[in-house]
Structure 1
Amino acid sequence: MTDNTPETKTQLVPQINKETSQLSKLQRQFNLKIKRINKLKSELQQRKEATAMLQARVQKELHPLLAQTVELRVKIVKQLDQAYDFPSLRKKEREKLAVFIEDLAYNLIEKYGREELIEIHDKYAPVTHAEAVMEAEEEANSMAQDLFRSVFGVEVEPDDLNDIEKMKAKLDQKMQEQEEQYANRNQKKGPKKKTKAQQEKEEAMKAEMQNISKASRRIYTELVKQLHPDKEQDEAARAWKEEVMKEVTLAYNNDDFFELLRLQMEFLQDKSKALEELPEDQLKYYVKLLDDQVHELQLESAQLTYGPEAHLYHQFGGTPKATEQKFRRQKNALREEIQELQHELNGFTDPDIVKHLIKSLKFS
């Protein structure tokens, strides 16, 4: 084992260190994939750190301002509820105002959980909030039932949709029935004899998968033998080995072959030249594992770029200067909105301003 301590940890990148002209085609592929993985890992880590920082800033700097806008909107709903009884309002004006109050209250209840507005909502809505929620649930359940019926051929009851285990059991049962039907049909037809070429191809693929698995397992086993803390007498060394073993186990469980190679270089001194001496037939399995990891990292990168958290990064990410400008612009917009909402709240105590609001309302 190299002279590593808990305080110092060398970050190495696995490479076959030869002159480019001396590298075989597989060795060049290995080095290129290692570089690609290292770059992808670095980009992913930077994106994750940036996203975490943006989430923290949104929570600290924007959420308090957003909460103020919600509070003001709640007050506006309550003020308009009182304005509904202004004597100067005509019947048609009250009807338009009622629709507006209902819509504002419903959005605040659904989006921000402001259930204290349910009573006001129900006062103006043709159906109560509870009835509206029930109708929405029934419609969603009906769509889900149609989906399971048309796609999976499974009949489900509305109550089953809220029971994940029951739904899983129904799907498993349907899949088992389909597999049995398929097996019975094939049995009636009789087994289709495979050609010698097909058998040889299947055997070759099976052997290749086993060798690929062994390549990762071999490095993991070597690291475990060298770093397992159970026989370590020194307490500090034991604690250090326990932490390193967590890294080793995590890399193996996550199929992170790049990290296993890096840990091998870092902690197994006798393996420092192992990559240069690796036989070509074994190196091809290393390249296959690295190729798979490149694909997985690309998928993870796509998830960060287009997934649920991508909107936050696209809205506020960029250079430090650009991020500051975006946050400043958003905070200014929220502060302006707060001022406008406060102005509206104050104005809705005046019947003439309420009449002007009602006149401006357009409903589709």
Structure 2
Amino acid sequence: MTNTNKLVRIALSGPNAKPLSKAQKEFNRLSARVAELEKLLTDYRTSVDAVQQRIQGDYIPLLNTYNQCRADLVRLFDRFYDNPDATRPERRKLARLIVDMGEDLIFRHGFADLRTIVGKYSQQDMDEADDAAQQLEQMKQTAAATYGLDLDDVDFDTPDDLMAYIEQQLRERQAEQERRSERTEQTKSGRQQADEAKQAAKLQQTTKTVRTLYRELVKAYHPDLEQDEAEKIRKTAIMQQVTDAYEKGDLMALLRLQLTLSELDQDRVSNLADEPLRHYNNLLKQQIDRLTEELTERQQYMASLLGRPLSSVQSAFGLDISIGEAVNSLKRDVKSIKSQLKSLTQPAFLKAWLQSYYG
């Protein structure tokens, strides 16, 4: 297989060789940058695939287990609320826990079966000193802070009305996010089409050097000109790579093929005049822009997916660390909540726990 990762570089030849010109130095710098970005992108793609496998195989099952334990806690608190030994302050804390934890599980994680339990406690008068209006106002403030909603100018008669409104707002928010995502994709698609059209136009108008390289490679390696069957098969494979590179306007791939297949062609590149080299350099800059954009988009997506700062996922190594930390943290949370759930099934322990709870 042809080594398409070989670095294309102009080197000094001989002790009396002239120093490299500005265009030649620029060619070397840009070529090295392309090779660097291609390696970064290759490594990052591989790491992203591994991270996505860990998300599906490790993180999501752990998250589901964690949330199921939280739902079991809500049900446990619901059962203990009716315990004759439960005091009024304990019931008030239990009700607050049920509502806060239950609403998060319902709205963010799809535990619709908890709706009846949460609704029951949302409608109760939890304390003689708190009237219904105060409770509703507290729920509004909690909902506003939790879901980022502006509820100041909205009036509700009952907690059920508030919950219905929140659900409606979250559905509308989700729909708007989907519409924005669709518009973004459409805009991106239109931008990509425009870029492709621009690149195609440039390829037709200004890439004489690319076409020249292509014709030279076709002339040297076209299989129809070969009589030997084994050599014909080899040249057919080479021509497939040549054709793919030409159709993509990939100057670096054509250069690498030419240099790999015939080391003598290195002299041809080294002896190019500055004017053709400047054309090469412009194409290399375009390739650097494309590679940089793709790498940045992938990094931003993974930062959002893992809920991590962009700086922590800008390398394959950082990605591996981030998913590892996320999985390990969730493992600790699952272990802790399972232990807590087991202990809280004992009424005496639950009462002691509620006494120390300041929610």
TM-score between the two structures when normalised by the length of structure 1: 0.61
Q: Which runs of 5+ in 1 are unaligned?
A: 1-5, 145-159, 173-206
Is 1:288 matched up with 2:282?
Answer: yes
Is 1:97 matched up with 2:94?
Answer: yes
| TM-fit CA distance, 1:208 | 9.1
**Residues 246, 358 of structure 1: alpha-carbon distance in 2 compared, 3 angstrom cutoff:** farther
Partner residue, 1:278: 272
Question: Which of 315, 334, 340 is matched with 2:336 structurally?
Answer: 340
Partner residue, 2:169: 135
Quote the Cα distance in structure 1 between the aligned partners of 2:290 and 2:105: 41
1:83 counterpart letter in structure 2: F
Indicate the larger mover: 32-41 or 65-74: 65-74
| TM-fit CA distance, 1:60 | 4.4
**Residues 26, 339 of structure 1: alpha-carbon distance in 2 compared, 3 angstrom cutoff:** closer
Matches within 5 A, 1:1-364: 6=1, 9=3, 11-19=5-13, 21-57=18-54, 59-90=56-87, 93-125=90-122, 126-127=159-160, 131-138=165-172, 161=179, 212-220=206-214, 222-223=216-217, 244=238, 247-248=241-242, 251-252=245-246, 255-267=249-261, 271-304=265-298, 307-310=300-303, 311=308, 314=312, 327=324, 333-362=329-358
| TM-fit CA distance, 1:48 | 3.2
Quote the Cα distance in structure 2 between the aligned partners of 1:119 and 1:242: 69
| TM-fit CA distance, 1:14 | 1.8
**Residues 255, 84 of structure 1: alpha-carbon distance in 2 compared, 3 angstrom cutoff:** farther
**Residues 91, 132 of structure 1: alpha-carbon distance in 2 compared, 3 angstrom cutoff:** farther
Quote the Cα distance in structure 2 between the aligned partners of 1:271 and 1:299: 31
Preserved CA contact (<8 Å) 1:212 1:288: no
What CA RMSD, in Å, does the superposition of the two structures yield over aligned residues?
4.7
Preserved CA contact (<8 Å) 2:34 2:288: yes
SS at match of 1:23: coil
2:213 counterpart letter in structure 1: I
| TM-fit CA distance, 1:288 | 1.3
Please list the CA deviations of residues 58-87 of structure 1 after superposition, one character each: whole Å capped at 9, or x if unmatched: 554555444432332232222222223222
**Residues 359, 215 of structure 1: alpha-carbon distance in 2 compared, 3 angstrom cutoff:** farther
Indicate the larger mover: 280-289 or 211-220: 211-220
**Residues 53, 267 of structure 1: alpha-carbon distance in 2 compared, 3 angstrom cutoff:** same
| TM-fit CA distance, 1:286 | 0.5
**Residues 21, 270 of structure 1: alpha-carbon distance in 2 compared, 3 angstrom cutoff:** closer
| TM-fit CA distance, 1:265 | 2.4
**Residues 208, 331 of structure 1: alpha-carbon distance in 2 compared, 3 angstrom cutoff:** closer
Preserved CA contact (<8 Å) 2:226 2:232: yes
**Residues 60, 224 of structure 1: alpha-carbon distance in 2 compared, 3 angstrom cutoff:** farther
Percent identical residues? 29
Please list the CA deviations of residues 128-158 of structure 1 after superposition, one character each: whole Å capped at 9, or x if unmatched: 86653212234677x88xxxxxxxxxxxxxx
**Residues 95, 248 of structure 1: alpha-carbon distance in 2 compared, 3 angstrom cutoff:** farther
The number of aligned residues is 301
Q: Which runs of 5+ in 2 are unaligned?
A: 123-158, 191-200
2:167 counterpart letter in structure 1: V
